[in-house]
Amino acid sequence: MAVATETPPRVSPARRARSRALARFVRHRLALFGLGAIIVLVLLCAVGPYIWPYNDLRIDIRHRFAEPFMSAHILGADALGRDLFARLMIAGRVSLTVGFAAMAISTVIGTFVGTIAGYFGGAIGSMLMRFVDAVLCFPSIFLLLALAAFVQPNLFTITLVIAATAWMEVARVVEAQIRSLRERDFALAAKVLGASDAHIMFHELLPNAVAPIVVASTLNVARAILLEAYVSFLGYGIQPPTPSWGNMLNNAQEYLATAPWLALLPGLFIILAVTGFNFVGDGLRDALDPRLDIT
């Protein structure tokens, strides 16, 4: 018989309680870090271009491929000598705007569909939710590209297309919430008092489902920023010369051997923004809705 070489840690209750507190603290810290990262990024992209001496479109051939930290172009320059830091800030405006706007639109669509489906249930509800299931059968990037490729790509259409592929999760979350809230006493009371369906749905039930919607929306910003990066990287999103964090990378592969920072830096900005929203979303989930915790 083999002897057990390893036993699960049997820790004292006091130590376990301390570990729990530590866990909460770390999670909280992560959410704070995420919030900090988002605020810094938003401020940087909003105010930075007014202060920074370089323009994102100014071509400076003498400083082509300037390396980071070696010249006045603090984060280096691209193939046309355009200042990378200036471009990253302007690109951030585009990417963050698309992220927030797509989140707002997808939250509205998802909340609307979810509320209707959850409240009415029955044939309407199951039809709407089967529609959600069906849209989720398409791999998101395939659907996104198919839609994006056939519209005139600009800030507005790309935002709409991203929203069109990102509302389903919200719809699922809201549907489940509304379906359970519908049976609660206060909802039945409103019904007995003769309140209209619309009033019950949007004034009685929906305010009680705000917490999971806030969580889902925060995570959706992260998702939307990522989707914008993907579609722009693949050439069907925001079009140059307007920079976005995604499209700054679409020529970077050619210069990987000579100017790797052109690929690395925009990616780091994307990761910082997306991680920020994911951390905040996760922290909010812990704080607002412990039942949804899967990790």
Q: Count the site residues for other proteins by CB under 8 A.
A: 62
Does the protein bind other proteins through residue 156 (CB under 8 A)? no
Residues 6+ apart with CB under 8 A from 246: 95, 228, 229, 230, 231, 232, 233, 237, 238, 266, 270
d(CA 102, CA 240): 20
Please name which of 243, 182, 169 lies closest in space to residue 212, comparing C-alpha atoms.
169
Minimum distance between the CB of residue 103 and other proteins, rounded to whole angstroms?
A: 15
Does the protein bind other proteins through residue 292 (CB under 8 A)? no
Q: Which is nearer to other proteins, 55 or 239 (CB)?
A: 239
Minimum distance between the CB of residue 208 and other proteins, rounded to whole angstroms?
A: 27
Q: Which is nearer to other proteins, 100 or 279 (CB)?
A: 279
Please name which of 33, 190, 67 lies closest in space to residue 119, comparing C-alpha atoms.
190
Helix, strand, or coil here: 162? helix
Does the protein bind other proteins through residue 69 (CB under 8 A)? no
Cβ atoms of 165 and 148 within 8 Å: the answer is no
Which helix or strand (DSSP H or E) is residue 167 part of?
A: none
x/- string (CB under 8 A) for other proteins, residues 1-30? xxxxxxxxx---------xx-xx--x---x
Minimum distance between the CB of residue 48 and other proteins, rounded to whole angstroms?
A: 22
Could you tell me how many residues make up the chain? 295
Q: Which residues are near other proteins by CB under 8 A?
A: 1-9, 19-20, 22-23, 26, 30, 130-131, 133-143, 145-147, 149-151, 222, 226, 229-230, 233-236, 246, 249, 252-253, 256-257, 260, 263-264, 266-267, 270-271, 274-275, 278-279, 282, 294-295
